[in-house]
A and B are shown apart, each in its own frame.
Chain A
Amino acid sequence: MSDNSKQISTETANSIQIEAKAKRREARQLLLISTVSVLVFLCLWELAVRAGWIDSKYLCAPTMVVETFLQKLTDPKPDGAVLGVHIITSLRLVLVGYLTAVIIGVPLGLIMGYYHTFDKLVSPIFEIVRPIPPIAWIPLSIIWLGVGTTAKAFIIFLAAFVPCVINSYTGVKLTPVVYLNVAKTSGASNWEVFWTVSRNYAMPLAFTGIQVALGNAWSTLVASELLAATAGLGYMIQQGRSLVRPDVIIVGMLTIGVIGAILTTLLSKLENHVVKWRSRA
Chain B
Amino acid sequence: MDEQRVVKVHLENISKSFASRKMIFEAVNHVTIDVYKNEFLVLLGPGQCGKTVLLNMVSGLETPTEGKVEFIDSDATDLGFVFQKTAVFPWKTVMENVEMPLELKGVPKAERRERAQYLIDLVGLNGFENSLPKQLSGGMKQRVGIARAYCNNPQVLLMDEPFGALDAQTRYQMEEEILRIWEQEKRTVIFVTNNIEEAVYLADRIIVLSACPATVKEVYDIALPRPRDYVDTEFLRIREAIEANTDLAL
State the A residues within 8 Å of B (CB).
Answer: 176, 178-179, 181-188, 192, 196-197, 200-201, 203, 275-279
Contacts and interface: CB of A to CB of B under 8 A. Distances in A.
Interface stretch (B9-17, B85-93, B112-120, B220-228): B85-93
A179 B101 contact: no
A185 B81 contact: yes
Interface in B58-113: 59-61, 77, 79-81, 83-84, 86-87, 89-92, 100-101, 104-105
| Chain B contact patch, size range | 20 to 34
B217 interface: no
Contact of A186 (B56, B91, B152, B158): B152
Nearest to B77: A187
A182 B91 contact: no
B146 to A, nearest CB: 13
Given A178-B83, A179-B87, 15 more contacts: A178-B84, A181-B56, A181-B61, A181-B81, A185-B59, A185-B61, A185-B79, A185-B80, A186-B100, A186-B104, A187-B152, A196-B100, A275-B91, A277-B90, A277-B91
Contacts of A278: 90, 134
Given A182-B81, A203-B91, A187 B86 contact: no
Contacts of B216: none
13 contacts: A181-B87, A183-B100, A184-B61, A185-B158, A186-B104, A187-B77, A187-B101, A196-B104, A200-B89, A203-B91, A275-B91, A277-B91, A277-B134
Given A186-B152, A187-B101, A277-B132, A179 B81 contact: no
Contacts, number: 60
Nearest to A197: B89
Contacts of B80: 185
Contacts of B60: 185
Contact of A182 (B87, B134, B152): B87
A49 B167 CA distance: 68
Interface centre among B89, B134, B152, by most A CB within 10 Å? B89
A121 to B, nearest CB: 25
Nearest to A185: B81
A278 B152 CA distance: 28
A182 B89 contact: yes
Given A181-B61, A279-B134, A187 B90 contact: no
A178 B87 contact: yes
A182 B59 CA distance: 11
A57 B26 CA distance: 79
B117 to A, nearest CB: 18
Contacts of B91: 200-201, 203, 275, 277
B90 A186 contact: no
Contacts of A277: 90-92, 132-134
A275 B158 CA distance: 31
Closest 8 pairs (CB-CB, A-B):
A279-B134, A186-B101, A185-B81, A277-B91, A200-B91, A178-B87, A277-B90, A277-B132
